[in-house]
């Protein structure tokens, strides 16, 4: 068992600060929801208290003694609330009675997420588009599905794919696209400390794989890219 752990540690050390990718599925254990939210809060509170104590913080100080409880509540109820499938928004669709057949773009959707490698914030904007094949979806649902998948320990590539796949499934069409432009505080505030750089990811489905359609989408959101 220890040998296997050492091998994994060595692999992580070899990767260093390189970005580690994975599939479009969030890596959750089968028993991820065995504990209640309250049980999770209590465990996280205890763990945060241990971290602060190890760092030498005085947990009797009025300013910090409530921090473990506040962090636990924020993690379970807010920052990582998108892990719980019970919080998944209902993506109701409607008949496209007005026969709108062009591209619909919802741009500048605010993204607040957390890098799963360092548990530091990812902050940016998502731009989502679809072409109706007979169904339309409420505009706010597009914002909500971005927010739902963002509220997890994430990598930006996975988040981009999850948004597209969720909307494709809900609307019964492959013609969905998403571009996310975000700053990663694991880059901006630590390590290389590059405060100006941002990361752009994209996922194009169906008709959006066509060069002209993709260009139209990028023109709508006014992004100069090398995707062509």
Residue 191: C-alpha distances to residues 14, 95, 112 (Å) = 16, 50, 21
Rounded distance between C-alpha atoms, residue 190 and residue 192, angstroms: 6
Rounded distance between C-alpha atoms, residue 144 and residue 90, angstroms: 9
Residues marked active site are found at: 115-118, 156, 184, 186
DSSP letter (8 states) at residue 221: T
Evaluate the CA torsion angle 7, 9, 13, 15 in order and state its sign.
positive
Rounded distance between C-alpha atoms, residue 9 and residue 24, angstroms: 24
Q: What are the structure tokens assigned to 87, written together?
A: 């919080």
């Amino acid at each position: 068992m220890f040998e296997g752990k050492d091998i994994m540690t060595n692999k992580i050390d070899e990767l260093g600060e390189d970005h580690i990718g994975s599939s479009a599925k969030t890596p959750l254990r089968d028993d991820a929801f065995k504990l209640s939210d309250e049980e999770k809060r209590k465990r996280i509170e205890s763990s945060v208290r241990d971290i602060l104590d190890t760092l030498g913080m005085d947990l009797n100080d009025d300013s910090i003694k409530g921090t473990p409880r506040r962090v636990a509540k924020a993690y379970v109820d807010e920052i990582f609330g998108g892990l719980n499938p019970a919080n998944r928004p209902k993506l109701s669709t409607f008949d496209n009675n007005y026969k709108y057949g062009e591209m619909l773009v919802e741009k500048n959707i605010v993204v607040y997420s957390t890098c799963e490698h360092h548990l530091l914030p990812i902050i940016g904007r998502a731009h989502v588009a679809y072409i109706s094949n007979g169904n339309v979806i409420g505009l706010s649902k597009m914002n909500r599905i971005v927010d739902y998948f963002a509220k997890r320990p994430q990598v930006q590539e996975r988040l981009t794919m999850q948004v597209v796949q969720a909307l494709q499934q809900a609307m019964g069409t492959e013609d969905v696209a998403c571009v996310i432009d975000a700053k990663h505080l694991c880059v901006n505030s630590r390590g290389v400390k590059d405060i100006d750089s941002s990361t752009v990811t994209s996922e194009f489905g169906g008709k959006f794989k066509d060069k002209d359609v993709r260009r139209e989408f990028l023109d709508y959101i006014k992004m100069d890219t090398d995707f062509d």
